[in-house]
Amino acid sequence: MKDRFTIKFGGYSGQGINTLGGFLSKALKNSGYFTFAYREYPSVIKGGYASFQIDFASHFISSSTTKTKILACISDESLDKYTQTVTKDGVILHSLKEYTFSKENTEYIKENSIVVKYIDTEALAQECNAPPIMGNIIMLGAVWSLLKLNRKVLEKEVVEYFSKKKGIDIEAEKRCLSAGYQNIKDIKVKGLPEKIKKGWENSKILTGNQAIALGAIAGGCRAYFAYPMTPATSILETLGDTYEETGIIVKQAESEITAIQMAMGSMYMGARAFTATSGGGFDLMTETISCSGMTEIPLVIVLGQRAGSGTGVPTFSGSSDLDAALQAGHGEFPRCVLAASDAIDSYELIQEAFNISETYQIPVILLTEKQISESLFNILELPTPLKIQRGLTSKGTKRYLLTKDGISPRWLPKKGQKTYLSNSDEHDEHGISTEDIEDIKSMAQKRIRKSIKLEKSIPHPKYYGPKDPTIVFVGMGSTKNAVLDAMKVNKKRIGYLHYKYIFPLKEEKILELNKKGTQIVLIENNLVGAFGKLIKEQSGIYIPNTLNKFDGRPFFVDDILEYIKNR
């Protein structure tokens, strides 16, 4: 693809592929490029195949391509798998001494004029008086040399990272990086993008999970409780790294049930708290979500989606848990569902989740995906934190007072305040358990009225594109990123309607598009089209044109371009 350049590292889990990719992403950003990085890895500690792909350009990008210009492999399995992802006139670097390409891959290399270079990283590491594992740093130096960029920029990232590790020979790392850099002398690569002229110096690289953690801190969060589950685990790690500086309580609970109940208990006492998990853990949390709905205690849950039901494909991406978020918990009660698409969304929407949850006294579920949680986004700056809205009062007398909008007075249980019962049984205005017909009806209606006010207050979906598009994609989550990147290189009149406030659903924009007769395409990272079903349920509009992907991979920009080409 002409507007970007792509590099992919391949190897086994345990060979430092993720670390190499992180170095390269940051060094490219600090060399004057916009970057986006996507990783794949197996659900094993060592072995399998892992890859880290970095796309970079002179303009903002937030998705990956299926092809790569430079492939650097340190395992035979990854070289087998990724050889035919290399573009015409590309370069393959590998460190596999006795490796032989298959007949099919050999023909592919010849047909596409791909340069293949073997680097004896073991011998070079020995010359550098370094252990063999540092061969990955040698390969990193070789890749950097192909780009003809300043070695010191990359060396700074390597030194900064390893200086925080105990028992690492920093000088050996530097020697290995230099050896790899010097090993490439006669290979030239084509198609490098122009550098950004200004504005990149203070840009940042963040994963979606890091952005959620930072957004939670900016939003006044004081406690986080979780049980590790991919792809939500790194929120726990990020907040754990900050607790000394921020004072936030971070606890790894013994189960997802404990984690969500600790989060709800903290919110009841007035400390902003949340939990995060993935599908299987979320299933265990549903009773507490229902309890939050009845007691009207604010509750925030981040649901990191991955591929498949059951254990599924734990380390790969998908977006098939919308129905779970919409229906979790028994009984009828209001809720809000939000969906992040990138690091900026992740940072802002966790703050929005707290504000909505406390203002409306309801559970709020923030959907994210492995593609968002663990990819590296390059952003110019984080937005200004949202104003904290807690919905508290000091004048309440009836905790569950029947009100026109359904929102009752809420105050914190503390000295000097009137006491009340927070009761998961059906109750009256004072929280006293009741089986009275009128109480049951009036309380159920009071709680649901909050949804009406919430629907009116949330923003409309955002439209991207021309005023008179020939095709409009409609979607949520990470689908936005591939579509917007495709719009930059495709000349057809394409639009995209992006929803991040999923439920309650704002239906006016979709009704307007349908009335105009615009060709609408529903794009989803799942098989059954859960978002399309929600649109039909809420607006009455059935969207027959769909683009679904459900193979554990996100939408690549090529997927969108190919679909448009065939329309």
Confidence of residue 415 (pLDDT cuts 50, 70, 90): confident
pLDDT over 70, % of the chain? 99
Mean pLDDT of 43-59: 88
Mean pLDDT of 158-163: 94
Rounded distance between C-alpha atoms, residue 10 and residue 116, angstroms? 15
**pLDDT score of 566:** 86
Mean pLDDT of 174-195: 92
Q: Is pLDDT at 248 greater than 80 in this prediction? A: yes
Confidence of residue 445 (pLDDT cuts 50, 70, 90): very high
**pLDDT score of 195:** 85
**pLDDT score of 185:** 84
**pLDDT digit string (tens) for 380-400?**
999 999 999 999 887 778 999
**pLDDT score of 333:** 98
Residues 6 or more apart in contact with residue 20 via CB below 8 angstroms: 9, 52, 136, 137, 139, 140
**pLDDT digit string (tens) for 336-387?**
999 999 999 999 999 999 999 999 999 999 999 999 999 999 999 999 999 9
Contact 486, 323 (CB under 8 A): no
Contact 146, 71 (CB under 8 A): no
Higher pLDDT, residue 333 or 192: 333
Rounded distance between C-alpha atoms, residue 27 and residue 36, angstroms? 12
Q: Which residues pair with 336 in a beta bridge?
A: 364
Confidence of residue 261 (pLDDT cuts 50, 70, 90): very high
**pLDDT score of 47:** 72
Rounded distance between C-alpha atoms, residue 422 and residue 266, angstroms? 14
Q: Say if pTM beats, i.e. exceeds, 0.75.
A: yes
Task: Return the DSSP state at 427.
Answer: B
**pLDDT score of 48:** 78
**pLDDT score of 164:** 87
Residues 6 or more apart in contact with residue 506 via CB below 8 angstroms: 455, 458, 459, 460, 461, 499
Contact 507, 530 (CB under 8 A): no
Rounded distance between C-alpha atoms, residue 347 and residue 48, angstroms? 33
**pLDDT score of 397:** 86
Higher pLDDT, residue 433 or 201: 433
Confidence of residue 45 (pLDDT cuts 50, 70, 90): confident
Q: Is pLDDT at 298 greater than 80 in this prediction? A: yes
Q: Which helix (H) or strand (E) holds 143?
A: helix 135-146
**pLDDT score of 186:** 86
Contact 284, 275 (CB under 8 A): no
Domains and CATH numbers, the chain: 5-183 (3.40.920.10), 205-379 (3.40.50.970), 392-458 (no CATH), 462-565 (3.40.50.920)
**pLDDT score of 190:** 87
**pLDDT score of 55:** 98
Lowest mean pLDDT across 110-114, 273-277, 334-338, 396-400: 396-400
Residues 6 or more apart in contact with residue 557 via CB below 8 angstroms: 1, 63, 64, 65, 482, 485, 486, 489
**pLDDT digit string (tens) for 463-497?**
999 988 999 999 999 999 999 999 998 878 899 99
Average pLDDT, the chain: 95
Confidence of residue 1 (pLDDT cuts 50, 70, 90): low
Closest CA to 519 of 492, 495, 487: 495
**pLDDT score of 370:** 98
**pLDDT digit string (tens) for 508-562?**
999 999 999 899 999 999 999 999 999 999 999 999 999 999 999 999 999 999 9
Contact 134, 95 (CB under 8 A): no
**In a 10 Å sphere around its CB, with 0-12 CB exposed, 13-18 middle and 19+ buried, how is residue 566 labelled?**
exposed
Mean pLDDT of 165-194: 92
**197: how many CB neighbours lie within 10 A of its CB?**
8
Closest CA to 398 of 443, 364, 349: 443
Contact 333, 326 (CB under 8 A): no
Rounded distance between C-alpha atoms, residue 271 and residue 300, angstroms? 12
Q: Is pLDDT at 237 greater than 80 in this prediction? A: yes
Q: Is pLDDT at 242 greater than 70 in this prediction? A: yes
